[in-house]
Amino acid sequence: MSGPHADKAKTDLPVLMPGAARLRRGAGKARREGGMRVELELWHGLVLLVTLAVALGVAEASQHATESPWAVLLRWMPFILWGQEGQWQGFALNIIISFCAMALGTVTGAALGLMQISLLAPVRTGSWLLTQFFRNSPWLVLLFTIMLLLPFEIRIGDTIVPIPDWVKAVIGFSLPVMANISEVVRGAVISLPSGQWESAESLAFTRAQTMWMIILPQCFKRMIPPWMNWYSILAMATPLCSIMGVEESVTLTQQAMSSEGGRPELLAPFYIFLLVIFFVYIYPIARWTVRLERKYTVMI
């Protein structure tokens, strides 16, 4: 041997290159969050507002009827936001669907994520397959499948319980959310340094105790930013169910436009207005997510 580094290339010890740890952290983070990040800036909103103004101006110029497009939009605004008097429709229904789907998806996803780190191989493999399946399927296809598969009512004894379309939509949306939250949970758990498991082990904690008292409490904070990011993605996806006739904001916008006689110059202002509503709702959540993420990264 001609020196300590002579046979370096042949070593079968794991060698960490400088920066490898950072790369691995980055990869782990991307995996936890499933890639897509909702990144909104304030100027995006300003651009939307300007575009809305321009679209309204254009509509005004090509005006045939007497009423100005500003007045038309203003008149339909409450309808698009919360639907008819006393009914939870329009954008309010988008929010309700997103809340319910998130709640359902979080509960089932957390369970599925914990199953993914089970010691029992069949449980681990099964939950992994389920996660990958729902994570990598198109949201719209899942939504169609659920909405067409579920009956419009179920009979329990003598009572008939109707299943409204929006409830089916909640179930349909909760599936991809479940799968992605499952990955968030798994990713957070495996991203903890193995030293935490080892020191817990050497203090004679059981695996369950280690999980509930030591690992999960530390994961909780790490999971909040990606969890919120998934909520933003879900909220933006809720208009998908308009295709199935759920009376959320896009469906109502279409209804509003057809009662105005389907004037083509109204298309742009109405849809851009929808974008503005979504921006106003999602922007604070996205900013807050980024802030929490920075805070927790500094802490770790």
Strands 153-156 and 159-162: antiparallel
Quote the CA–CA distance of 264 and 59 in Å, as a whole number.
9
CB 4, min distance to another protein, A: 10
* DSSP single-letter state for residue 193: -
* DSSP single-letter state for residue 208: H
Neighbouring residues of 282: CB distance < 8 A, sequence distance ≥ 6: 38, 40, 232, 235, 236
CB 220, min distance to another protein, A: 9
Quote the CA–CA distance of 159 and 102 in Å, as a whole number.
29
Region for residue 19 given its phi and psi (left: phi exceeds 0; alpha: psi -120 to 50; beta: otherwise)? left
Please say which residue, 132 or 209, places its beta carbon nearer to another protein.
209
Q: Binding residues for another protein, per CB under 8 A?
A: 12-13, 193, 195-196, 198-206, 209, 213-214, 217-218, 299
Quote the CA–CA distance of 241 and 250 in Å, as a whole number.
9
Please say which residue, 103 or 203, places its beta carbon nearer to another protein.
203
> How many C-alpha atoms does 277 have within 13 Å on its Cβ side?
23
CB 225, min distance to another protein, A: 17
Please say which residue, 61 or 204, places its beta carbon nearer to another protein.
204
Please say which residue, 5 or 155, places its beta carbon nearer to another protein.
5
CB 200, min distance to another protein, A: 8
Please say which residue, 108 or 210, places its beta carbon nearer to another protein.
210
CB 12, min distance to another protein, A: 6
Please say which residue, 61 or 299, places its beta carbon nearer to another protein.
299
List 156's β-bridge partners, or say none.
159
The token pair at 189 is 């758990």
Tell me how far apart the terminal alpha carbons of the chain are, to the nearest angstrom: 43
Whether 130 contacts 148, CB under 8 Å:
no
CB 196, min distance to another protein, A: 6
